[in-house]
Structure 1
Amino acid sequence: MQIIAALQAAVTAASLDFEPTAAELDAIEQEMPLIQAEVELLDAQIMTIDRPANELDTRRVRRARRRVLAVRRALANTAADEVAG
């Protein structure tokens, strides 16, 4: 009979007790406009869940979607500029 043992140390709560690095915090800060835009889109969609969407709701959702796309495009362009430059 062959014994099978774990190759990695067991994951415990103590091993997960750490703070984010400065680089991780910077990445979160750079993505914060996208996070805020996605939250606004979600809020607009939640408002229309339990009732029929009127014209104002439709515009609010459409505007929020466009903002998410614009922020994603800006982040992608920023990342592409950093890679190229």
Structure 2
Amino acid sequence: MPEFTSAYYNMSQGEDDRGPWNSDGDWEFIEDPQPAVGGGDGLVTVTVSGADVEVLQAMAARTASDISADPKTGADLGSGQAV
């Protein structure tokens, strides 16, 4: 969305700091933006076809986490503890 490419939205709720990241001429500084800057309600919504729903459900089942698994991780292996 090109209209948001060079916009800096001041989302802070206190004293505002300005610096090179938001004050040079390359940026449009939006002082008091609305939370949903694209005009929506701020919630994520997606429309998919019926065929895509089937594919997405199959993918969700295939990639679901196994909450009963407790695999060794890099943190476990690098901890110096016997695993």
TM-score calculated relative to the size of structure 1: 0.29
**Greater strand content:** 2
| Larger helix share, 1 or 2 | 1
Structure ID, larger Rg: 2
